[in-house]
Each structure stands twice: as C-alpha cells, then as structure tokens.
Amino acid sequence: MKINTNNYEEYFLLYIDNELSGEQKAAVELFVLENPAYQKKLSLLQQTILIPASIEFEDKILLYRLEEMESSLPTSFKQTLYRKETKVVTRFFGTYSMRTLSGIAAILILLFGYKFMHSISTAQNNSEALANNTNSIKTKSNAGYLNKTSNKPNNSSISTISKAASKIVYTTSIVDKPQTIIDPSEKKYNRPTQNENTIASAFVITNAPEDIVKNVPPITTAEPITSSEVLLASESKEAFENLNTENPDRVIYIANMEIDGDKLRGITRRIGAFIKRNKTEKEK
C-alpha cells in the first residue's frame, strides 16, 4: 500500500507510534521529503508524544521482598509452641509420696480392722459368758420353780410346762447338784439337735426309772413347745452360737451399719497386694 494524500494521516500516526516496519517508515519519510507541506502535519503529530517524565517510586523498600521478611520458622520450633488441650489423668498412686501415704493408711486400716474384729470377738465371748451365767441362773430358777410345781401338780400353770422341764426336774432330783446341770447343757447346745435329743433321752433313760421314762418321751420338734421354753432355747442358742469364719455370707454389724465381710476382706487383700508390689518394685 502506497502513501498518498488520502491516507497519509494514518501512516503518520502509525509512524509516531512506532508501529511501522522499517520499509514503511522509510516510505513515510520519503513521502514527507517529496511533500514538504505534510512535514508540518507530521511534526504536529510528533508533538503529541509525551516525553517520559523522571518520576520515581520513592518507597521501593515497601515493595521489596527480603528473605528475612519472608523467613518462616521451622516446623519443629512451631511444634514446641503448640498447645493441645488434653484431659489430665491423675493417678492417685502415681507419686512416691502418695504411695507411701497409701501404704501407711493401709496399715492403719489393717490395725483398726484387727482391733475392731478383736473387739467384736471379745464382745461375743462376753455375751457368751453372760449368757452362760443367765442360763445357769435361769436353769436354777427353773429348777426351783419346777421343783415347786412338781410338788403342786394340780396347779394350772404347771400343766403348761413341757415334759422337758420334768426331765430337768428329774435330773436335778437325781444328781442334786445344780452346777452339774450346766455342764451337760453347755455341751448339749454345741451339738446338733438330733444328738441333743438322743443324749437327753439317753440321759433320762440311764438315770430315770422306767415309769418316768415312759412319761418323759424324747424331745422332738413335732411336740408343742411353750413360750417360756422357746425363749429359753432361743436365748441360749444365740448366746452360744460361734462365728463361722468360713461362711461366705459373713456380715459385720457396726452399730446400725451393715458391712459385707467379703468386700472388706477383698479390700484388705488388695491393699496387701499393693504394698507387696511396691516393695518388690523398690527392691528392683
């Protein structure tokens, strides 16, 4: 395409914008030389070009990215700063002092427990002895009472007394020593009821005359028992009942509080095992 008077302006604009090739530039320059009237038009357009002003961005420091500014902390250091909320699990026996204290507490519990058990046993023995005394007194009184009643067979109250009472009357009358009555009775209460009956019957048979033996049959559970007899038997039985340590359903009463003996025994065993374990650890 050739430059002419119709399209010169576009060529001039492209020329000042530096958008022409070398050949086109030369063509424009040749056109201006050939047509001096258009030289002024080209120079006017060239005057519209802005000369770059010396404007600087002064705060370049704000734009720089230095290594120190962008340096990041190592992850290992960051991990030391992290905090994680965790449940604090406190072991009661974790510390040495707590172990020592718990050991002392266990010993004290054992001592008090032993003392407590000992006091219970002594109390039982005392009650047993007391029961013996009361039984002997009762037996004596019964004997006396029965002696009196045996002399008065027509009294209505005497009729309520069982044949066992008459048995005692018989024995007292034969032996004539109240102290001796206690001894067989004590032995009798520690024996099973069946043996008790047989002994009683045997005792009667051996010592009593035949006519009385007939009137005094051996004591059986089927026979009607009067209230005084039941009271006597129950009191004496409770008083002389021994504590069976082998019984699994053992229950200890402290005032109104009921303590399971097995549980207490389990606790004492655990404490003992713990102390033993601590001891072995210390030795290690």
Q: Is 67 in the site for another protein (CB under 8 A)?
A: yes
Q: Is 51 in the site for another protein (CB under 8 A)?
A: yes
Contacts with another protein: how many residues (CB under 8 A)?
A: 29
Q: Is 18 in the site for another protein (CB under 8 A)?
A: yes
Q: Is 48 in the site for another protein (CB under 8 A)?
A: yes
Among 63, 73, 222, 257, binds another protein (CB under 8 A): 63
Angle, in degrees to the nearest 10, between helices 96-151 and 178-189: 130
Contact predicate 175/181, CB 8 Å = yes
Write down the residue that tokens 């406190």 correspond to: 90
Structure tokens given for 279: 């001891």
Closer CB to another protein, 46 or 155, in the complex? 46
Count the Cβ atoms, other than its own, within 10 Å of residue 175. Answer: 13
Q: Is 49 in the site for another protein (CB under 8 A)?
A: yes
Closer CB to another protein, 1 or 254, in the complex? 1
Closer CB to another protein, 14 or 205, in the complex? 14
Closer CB to another protein, 60 or 214, in the complex? 60
Closer CB to another protein, 64 or 253, in the complex? 64
Among 20, 27, 45, 275, binds another protein (CB under 8 A): 45
Closer CB to another protein, 60 or 152, in the complex? 60
H or E stretch covering 196: helix 193-207
Q: End-to-end CA distance of the chain, in Å?
A: 107
Q: Kindly report the length of the chain.
A: 284
Closer CB to another protein, 58 or 211, in the complex? 58
Report how far residue 56's alpha carbon sits from residue 187's, in angstroms, rounded to the nearest whole number: 126
| Cβ neighbours for 253, distance < 8 A, ≥ 6 positions apart | 259
Q: Is 37 in the site for another protein (CB under 8 A)?
A: no
Contact predicate 268/174, CB 8 Å = no
Alpha carbon distances (Å) from 55 to 51, 62, 78: 12, 17, 44
Q: Is 60 in the site for another protein (CB under 8 A)?
A: yes
Rg (CA), the chain: 61
Q: Is 1 in the site for another protein (CB under 8 A)?
A: no
Q: Is 68 in the site for another protein (CB under 8 A)?
A: no
Q: Is 70 in the site for another protein (CB under 8 A)?
A: yes
Q: Is 176 in the site for another protein (CB under 8 A)?
A: no
Closer CB to another protein, 37 or 89, in the complex? 37
Instruction: Pick the piece of the chain touching another protein (CB under 8 A) from 53-61, 81-89, 133-141, 261-269.
Output: 53-61
Contact predicate 184/134, CB 8 Å = no
Ranges of H-type helices in 71-152: 75-81, 96-151
H or E stretch covering 41: helix 37-47
Q: Is 5 in the site for another protein (CB under 8 A)?
A: no
Interface residues with another protein (CB under 8 A)? 9-10, 13-14, 16-19, 44-45, 47-57, 59-60, 62-65, 67, 70
